[in-house]
Amino acid sequence: MISRLILSTALAGLLLVPAARAADPDLVVFDWSGYEDPEFYKSYTEKYGQPPQFSFFGDEEEAFQKLRAGFKADLAHPCSQSVVKWHEAGLLEPFDTARIPAWNDIMPGFKAMQGFVVDGKPYVIPLDWGATALTYRTDVVSAEDASSLQIFADPKYQGRISIGDNVDDAYALAFLATGVRDWTKATEAQLDAASAFLRKVHPNVLTYWQDGASLAQSMTSGEVVLAWAWNETSTTLKGEGVPIAMNRDAKEGSSTWVCGYVNLVGGEASDDRTYDFVNAWLEDRTAEYIVTAWGYGHSNGAAMKKIDAQALADSGFDNLDAYTDKTLWQAPLPANLREKMIAEFEKIKAGF
What fold characterizes domain 130-254+328-349? D-Maltodextrin-Binding Protein; domain 2 (3.40.190)
> What confidence category does residue 19 fall into, taking pLDDT thresholds of 50, 70 and 90?
very low
- Coil vs helix vs strand at 13: helix
Q: Where are the beta strands (DSSP E) in 10-59?
A: 28-32, 53-57
What fold characterizes domain 27-129+257-318? D-Maltodextrin-Binding Protein; domain 2 (3.40.190)
d(CA 280, CA 45): 9
Helix 167-177 with 335-349: angle, nearest 10 deg: 90
What confidence score (pLDDT) does residue 326 get?
Answer: 83
In 10 A of CB 272, how many CB atoms?
13
Phi, psi of 115 (to 5 degrees): 85, -10
d(CA 102, CA 91): 25
Tell me how far the alpha carbon of residue 57 is from its chain's centroid: 10
Which residues make Cβ contacts (< 8 Å) with residue 337, sequence separation at least 6? 183, 186, 191
> What confidence category does residue 7 fall into, taking pLDDT thresholds of 50, 70 and 90?
very low
Q: Is the pLDDT of residue 21 over 50?
A: no
Percent of the chain surpassing pLDDT 90: 84
Average pLDDT, the chain: 91
In the predicted model, what is the mean pLDDT of residues 289-309?
95
Which of these ranges, 6-10, 292-296, 315-319, 323-327, has the smallest mean pLDDT? 6-10
Q: Is the pLDDT of residue 29 over 90?
A: yes
Cα–Cα–Cα angle for 86, 89, 94, nearest 5°?
Answer: 60
For CA atoms 200, 335, 333, 267, give the dihedral sign.
negative
Q: For 319-331, b where at least 16 C-beta lie within 10 A, e where not — what string?
A: ebeebbeebbbbe
For CA atoms 308, 309, 313, 317, give the dihedral sign.
positive
Identical fold between 27-129+257-318 and 130-254+328-349: yes
Cα–Cα–Cα angle for 73, 167, 317, nearest 5°?
Answer: 80
Instruction: Report pTM.
Output: 0.88
DSSP string spanning 92-153?
Answer: EE---GGG-TTGGGB-HHHHTSTTTEETTEE--EEEEEEEEEEEEETTTS-TTGGGSGGGGG
Closest CA to 136 of 259, 45, 219: 219
261, amino acid identity: Y
Residue 71's Cβ-count burial label (10 Å; 0-12, 13-18, 19+) is middle
d(CA 67, CA 139): 43
Work out whether strand 161-164 and strand 327-329 pair parallel, antiparallel, or are unpaired. Answer: unpaired
Work out whether strand 161-164 and strand 226-230 pair parallel, antiparallel, or are unpaired. Answer: parallel
What confidence score (pLDDT) does residue 23 get?
Answer: 58
pLDDT tens for each residue of 86-140: 999 999 999 999 999 999 999 999 998 989 999 999 999 999 999 999 999 999 9
Q: Can you give the C-alpha Rg of the chain in angstroms?
A: 22
> For the chain, which residues make up each domain, given as ranges?
27-129+257-318, 130-254+328-349
Q: Is the pLDDT of residue 161 over 70?
A: yes
38, amino acid identity: P
Q: Is the pLDDT of residue 9 over 80?
A: no
In the predicted model, what is the mean pLDDT of residues 280-303?
96
